[in-house]
Amino acid sequence: MTRQQRADFILHRLEQLYPETLIPLDHKDPYTLLIAVLLSAQCTDLRVNQITPALFALADNPNDMMRQSVASVREIIKPCGLSPRKSVAIVELSRILVEQHDGQVPANFPDLEALPGVGHKTASVVMAQAFGVPAFPVDTHIHRLAKRWKLSKATNVEQTERDLKKIFPREQWNKLHLQIIFAGREHCTARGCNGHTCLLCSELASLA
């Protein structure tokens, strides 16, 4: 089976398994999504969703957030981990949004990636889920599964992203990246599958 044939099978199978892809991070607008995605670095979506109600009760927009002390933000987000760095980034990026972007989250990669604490993966999630721009955010789940499913031999997420963009239709990227994440959490876990035992891996093996 060629790499493209594997990709086509996976695309079809994931659509069967996950026809609906609700964004796992609770949010109400691009700003709250941006903050939630920033918090999700090295933290589970479940934990982020437990923390953001208190954070957004304190401030749910850049104007209010920039006026908060870093210490007060850090106290709320401490359970997420990396709270010293994340709290500084949240307050500072809020100030930049107000001063440079009229309080709006920019809908382009250069401006998003220039914000404190916002890397390419975070920017990709915001572009895809807040603005509907085709993007393929690659997290550890996707990087791991792309290698396990023999879709990419890349050793870093940047090359994995490039590889996946070549073999999957552009119009499917925004939905597909969530479908792969869901599959990685539910079926093809890091420790629960050796590349042959889970639903998708066993099906791929039978077609090889």
Q: Which residues are catalytic?
A: 121, 139
Q: What percent of the chain is helix, strand and coil (3-state, nearest 5)? A: 65, 0, 35
**Amino acid at the residue 154:** A
Dig out the tokens for 85 from the structure.
Answer: 């760095």
3-state secondary structure 173-202: HHHHHHHHHHHHHHCCCCCCCCCCCCHHHH
For residues 171, 115, 89 and 159, what is the CA-based torsion angle, rounded to 10 degrees?
50
Taken in order 89, 94, 97, 100, the sign of the CA dihedral is negative
Strand, coil or helix: what is 208? coil
Dihedrals φ, ψ of 152, to 5°?
-155, 145
CB atoms within 10 A of CB 105: 23
Return the H-helix or E-strand segment holding 67.
none
Report d(CA 8, CA 72) in Å as an integer. Answer: 48
